Amino acid sequence: MKLIINGETMRITEEVETVEQLLEFYQLGNRVVIVELNEEILQKEEHASTKLKDGDHIELVSFVGGG
């Protein structure tokens, strides 16, 4: 499946079907991540049930601590 993630076209394995699985694929499952799918921000509760499809535009924003 082809997704556009943070402005870059990426090919993702077909086993990744949901937003939650995408976050696990990128090892972001344990982090606080804001997910925007096709210009709509998803609530964390929606990650497991939101299916991805070819051509989706996704923005992933995670927070990094420091000073």
* pLDDT tens per residue across all 67 residues of the chain: 999 999 999 999 989 999 999 999 999 988 889 999 999 999 999 999 999 999 999 999 987 776 6
Type of residue numbered 55: G
* Burial status of residue 36 (CB atoms within 10 A of its CB: 0-12, 13-18, 19 or more): middle
User: In terms of DSSP H, where are the helices of the chain?
Assistant: 19-25
pLDDT at 67: 61
Measured in degrees and rounded to the nearest 5, phi and psi for residue 7 equal 85, -5
pLDDT of residue 62: 85
CATH architecture of 2-62: Roll (3.10)
- Confidence at residue 53, expressed as pLDDT on a 0 to 100 scale: 96
For residue 63, the model assigns a pLDDT of 78
